[in-house]
Amino acid sequence: MNNLYRTRYFLLLISVISIMLISFQSANAQDGEALYKANCTACHAVKEKVIGPALMGVSKRRSEDWLIKWIRNSQSLIKANDEYAIKIFNEYNKTVMTSFNLKDEEIKAILAYIKTEEAKPDATAAPVASGTTGAPVEEKPIWPWLLAAVVVLYLLSGILRRVQETLSTAVRQKQGIAEPAPTTNWKKNREWIRRNKKLIAVILILLTIVGSVKAWYSLQAIGISQGYNPDQPIAYSHQLHAGEMGISCIYCHSGAERGKVAGIPSANVCMNCHKYVKKGPVTGTEEIAKIYKALDYDPDKGTYGPNTKPIQWVRVHNLPDLAYFNHSQHVVVGQIACQTCHGPVQDSMTVAYQYSPLTMNWCITCHRETKVKMAGNGYYNDLHKKMMNSNVPDSMITVEKIGGLECARCHY
């Protein structure tokens, strides 16, 4: 019995210890993850070269002692003429690795985390598998069904008429009524028209009215490209960048706060992130590669070549030359949100399209309705006082009230 107890006790102890050990080890790896993310990811990735080498298999390549020395102070190793250190330093364009004042255990934890990461399958493939941002399910068009229904109905009505004719012929034969003289369809139609003149007049008038209204609106729409959604050289998704990633509009369209045009960002702005983010969901990887191609950038080596080629975007918002529009006036002074004119860019716009009609009517309507934010802007001090004196309440001071509908505000 004692033996049994002892054995049981022993087993229990072992299992507790092993559980503790296991949990300790995993805790170690978890610390490693945090440390790795805090310190290493600016320059390293596990499976690819970024600024520094890929870290996969690093523990196999070098001993733990060497790695600790290297991470603490890589330059001292180089000064000590360590062959491998010099080699790797030269290979990466003599970029000095930052020295990290980490404890041995912490470095070991990082290495442990790297080992666990090595084993995982390719992480970037995951979103594709999950299908969250996959291509939308293609909707089957409804018109073949409608067409089929029309055909069926037509056939059905034909059959029914035949049946009716057959039946009425049968009835006539039975009652001995003579067959009516056959009339041509043409005659029948004329007869019908003669009898329904009023109806036809009404229909014609209605058609004319509807047609005129349609024509009027379609003529009015000439030159208005609301919804214009041209193919772009890079299938850039605003929804992903501005929506999911939460990047501010101004980060890329920095001109909006400063000048007349918001501007399409130059490729060097893309590279601020895409130097590191080399892969993307869906078609992202190929699209990002287009930036590299434009800049003649080699993502493996991190070097720029001479054969650059500008990206030829298609302009979506085309104001006529006769209208002057200044973004900074609206964004900075008017404090109008980008979405007011550009629509739900971050929610549903992948490749940008023209959300607003950009007509003069549209501009003027907004100028009539929008209140001027005079408070706190020293420029308006005098005007504000003047308007207060003439009893114009703040809620009434629209852009129109301060001359915002005058021609030479936009046309010169």
Partner 1 sequence: MEKKYWKGVEELQNDAEFVRLKNNEFYENLPLDELVSKKAEETLTPRRDFLKFLGFGVAAASLAACEAPVRKSIPYLIRPEQITPGIANYYASTFSDGYDYASILVKTREGRPIKIEGNSLSSVTKGKVNARVQASVLSLYDNNRLQGPTMNGNPADWPAVDKAITDKLTAIAAKGGKIRILSSTVISPTTLKVIEDFSKKYPGTKHVQYDAVSFSAMIQSNKESFGVNGLPSYSFNKANIIVGFECDFLLNWISPVEYASQYAVTRKLDNGRKEMSKHYQFESALSLTGSNADFRTGIKPSQQLSYIMALHNAIAAKAGLAAAGSSSVDAKQLEKLAAELWTNKGKSLVVCGINNIAAQNLVNSINVMLDNYGNTIDVDTTCYLRKGNDADLSELLSEADKGEIGALFFYNCNPVYSLPAGAAFGNSIKRIELSVAFADRAEETASLCNFICPDHHPLESWSDAEPKKGFYSFGQPSISPLFNTRHMQESMLAWAGTPAAYHDYLSANWKNIAGAMSWDKLIQDGVYEMPAAASGKYPFAANLSSIAEEKSSGGMELVVYENAGMGNGNQANNPWLQELPDPVSKITWDNYLAISPRDAREKGWRQGNIVTIKTSSASIKAPVLIQPGQTPGTVSIALGYGRTKTGKTADSIGWNAYPLVSMRNAALTYSGAVDIQKTADEDYIFAATQSHHTMMGRAIVKETILSEYIKDPNAGNEAELFEVKAGKEILKKPVEEVTLWDEHELGNHHWGMSIDLNSCIGCGACVVACTAENNVPVVGKNEVMRSREMHWIRIDRYYSSDADPKEGEKGDIKLMEDPSDMPKVVFQPVMCQHCNHAPCETVCPVIATSHSSEGLNQMIYNRCVGTRYCANNCPYKVRRFNWFRYTDNPKFDYNMNNDLGKMVLNPDVVVRSRGVMEKCSMCVQRLQEGKLNAKKAGRTIKDGEINVACAQTCPTNAITFGDYNIPDSRLSQMWKPKERSYHLLGELNIQPNVFYQTKVRNIEEGNEA
Show contacts with partner 1 in window 332-351 (CB under 8 A).
Answer: 332-333
Burial class (CB within 10 angstroms; exposed 0-12, middle 13-18, buried 19+) of 254:
middle
Quick one: which of 105, 244, 286, 406 contacts partner 1 (CB under 8 A)?
406
Name the minimum Å distance from CB 323 to partner 1: 8
Q: What gap in Å lies between CA 129 and CA 349, rounded to an integer?
A: 23
Quick one: which of 57, 134, 227, 310 contacts partner 1 (CB under 8 A)?
310
Shorter beta-carbon distance to partner 1: residue 73 or 329: 329
Shorter beta-carbon distance to partner 1: residue 211 or 259: 259
Quick one: which of 95, 266, 303, 361 contacts partner 1 (CB under 8 A)?
266
Query: Regarding beta strands 297-298 and 303-304, do their DSSP bridges make them parallel or antiparallel, or are they unpaired?
Result: antiparallel
| Binding window for partner 1 (CB under 8 A); candidates: 15-23, 54-62, 180-188, 258-266 | 258-266
Shorter beta-carbon distance to partner 1: residue 56 or 250: 250
Quick one: which of 158, 259, 305, 344 contacts partner 1 (CB under 8 A)?
259
If phi over 0 gives left and psi between -120 and 50 gives alpha, with beta otherwise, what is residue 250? Answer: alpha
**Three-state DSSP state, 298:** strand
Name the minimum Å distance from CB 412 to partner 1: 5
**Three-state DSSP state, 78:** helix
Name the minimum Å distance from CB 327 to partner 1: 8
Q: Does 366 bind partner 1 (CB under 8 A)?
A: no
Give the residue from 91, 85, 110, 98 showing the smallest Cα distance to 42.
98
Q: What gap in Å lies between CA 55 and CA 144, rounded to an integer?
A: 57
For residue 243, count other CB atoms closer than 10 A to its CB: 17
If phi over 0 gives left and psi between -120 and 50 gives alpha, with beta otherwise, what is residue 407? Answer: alpha
Helices 284-295 and 267-274, packing angle to 10 deg: 130
| Binding window for partner 1 (CB under 8 A); candidates: 8-16, 24-32, 87-95, 318-326 | 318-326
Quick one: which of 196, 268, 303, 365 contacts partner 1 (CB under 8 A)?
268
| Binding window for partner 1 (CB under 8 A); candidates: 9-17, 36-44, 71-79, 400-408 | 400-408
Q: Does 388 bind partner 1 (CB under 8 A)?
A: no
Q: Does 116 bind partner 1 (CB under 8 A)?
A: no
CB distance 113 to 119 below 8 Å: no
CB distance 27 to 109 below 8 Å: no
Give the tokens for residue 293.
């191609």
If phi over 0 gives left and psi between -120 and 50 gives alpha, with beta otherwise, what is residue 188? Answer: alpha
Q: Does 376 bind partner 1 (CB under 8 A)?
A: yes
Quick one: which of 30, 116, 229, 254 contacts partner 1 (CB under 8 A)?
254
Q: What gap in Å lies between CA 40 and CA 113, rounded to an integer?
A: 12
Show contacts with partner 1 in window 222-251 (CB under 8 A).
Answer: 222-223, 225, 228, 230
Q: What gap in Å lies between CA 56 and CA 76, rounded to an integer?
A: 24
Quick one: which of 263, 302, 343, 357 contacts partner 1 (CB under 8 A)?
263
Element (H, E) at 347: helix 345-348
Q: Does 135 bind partner 1 (CB under 8 A)?
A: no
With CB under 8 A as the rule, give the number of residues binding partner 1. Answer: 54
Name the minimum Å distance from CB 349 to partner 1: 17
List contacts with partner 1 (CB under 8 A).
Answer: 219, 222-223, 225, 228, 230, 254-255, 258-261, 263-269, 294-295, 308, 310-315, 318, 320-322, 324, 326, 328-329, 332-333, 376-383, 402-403, 406-409, 411-412
